[in-house]
Amino acid sequence: MAVKTVDDLLAEGVAGRRVLVRSDLNVPLDGSAITDDGRVRAAVPTIRKLAEAGAKVIVAAHLGRPKGGRGLASGGGLGAVPPASTGAPDAKYSLRPVAVRLGELLGAEVALAGDVVGPEAKALAGSLTDGSVGLLENVRFDPRETSKSEAERAELAGEFASLADAFVSDGFGVVHRKQASVYEVARVLPAYAGGLVLAELDVLSKLTGEPARPYVVVLGGSKVSDKLAVIEALLPKVDTLLIGGGMAFTFLAARGHDVGDSLLETDFVETARKLLDEHGDKIVVPVDVVIAQALAPDVEVRTVAAEEIPSGWKGLDIGPRTVELFAGSIAGAKTVFWNGPAGVFELAPFAAGTRGVAQAIADSAAFSVVGGGDSAAAVRLLGLPEDGFSHISTGGGASLEFLEGKDLPGVAVLSEGNR
């Protein structure tokens, strides 16, 4: 698929031009503190490249899933985040902490507009000097961003377009969404693929083409229903599929095991049973699990065989024998894709499984891809070396949809020849 790239834009010349960059800055926050800045760091290279070439860079991004009106209460000026007023979005979703961190990484102040496309956004766009960077407020503060109405999204895209002369799509974590700042804006401005999007597509294409074998996929997370499509798409292509996390208990139930109070999707037990019947030579499920009666940091914890979970107890992590089993498959792999934690890694009693799997991948000689989302967060939270992995994706959902074989609207639109 032929698309114009940010390098093509740079070759055309960007000095003095306003360039709207859609980044993925959807970071986890503890109050106003960013707990994992991986996505901000990933966004920096494209933004810096444009700024150093003299562009006036306007960054658009979202944070969480806010509800409310079209901006925070006005009156604070550029960079201000006044208290949310009645009908306004919750200020806890403001991108102010992101603007601060982005400025630190760029080594220059990043002004934050107090609205999305309103007076402050227009003032920000008009105030930028060559090589400077500004950030629009959370684009999801405008309900048109995620509207089901194409006309409403197009209306907002037109307002985005009025702020800039060109558009760079660099938020891989959102390219699987038809949203105004991702899809429609690329239809009204000259559009280019950013370096991060290009890098992600290059890596993931290696997994869907002819990956070096053995090809091992590790899937975790809470629900089979969330991963069913990618499981069905990958099973014909992989040599081994290792299943951990909450979703493993649906597979254990499909084998006839009592899973106690563990997370269980009863509607998908039969589906899991069918997958085991058809691909039992490829699918590996836990042989032991770490259990507790409650999800808390100071509860009694036991490790039991996967088929011996007592009533009233719930599985919250894979056990050490399962880690060893998984690590054996990973050690012999030439290609590894990992998406989803093996347990509730945020709590210390249930982090060993995820840590063990991640360490096994990092220690392997395989071409290894961490599929974004909670897996990427786990790598950083558990203090594992990021350079132990060939690639850590910024897009969990986008990565999975790409591997499912789905078109990514935010990428497909870049190849449209209608501009």
Specify binding-site residues. Answer: 24-26, 39, 62-65, 140, 177, 227, 315, 346, 372-375
Annotation marks residue 397 as catalytic: yes
Amino acid at 259: V
Catalytic residue among 41, 334, 397, 406: 397
Contact call for residues 9 and 189 (beta carbons, < 8 A): no
- Residue positions in the annotated binding site for substrate? 24-26, 39, 62-65, 140, 177
The residue annotated as part of the active site, out of 187, 223, 255, 321, is 223
Specify the pairing of strand 133-135 against strand 56-60: parallel
* Annotated catalytic residue, options 373, 395, 396, 410: 373
**70 in active site:** no
Contact indicator for 301, 349 with CB cutoff of 8 Å? yes
Residues whose CB is less than 8 angstroms from the CB of residue 320 and which lie 6 or more positions away in sequence, other chains included: 288, 303, 352, 356
φ, ψ for residue 391 (rounded to 5)? -155, 135
Residues belonging to the binding site for ATP are 227, 315, 346, 372-375
Catalytic residue among 17, 22, 39, 96: 39
Tallying the residues shown for the chain, one arrives at 419
DSSP 143: G
66, 138 Cβ separation under 8 angstroms = yes
335: part of which helix (H) or strand (E)? strand 335-339
Would you call 39 a catalytic residue per the annotation? Answer: yes
Mention every residue, 6+ apart, whose C-beta is less than 8 A from residue 352: 290, 317, 320, 323, 343
DSSP class of 5: B
Catalytic residues: 39, 223, 373, 397
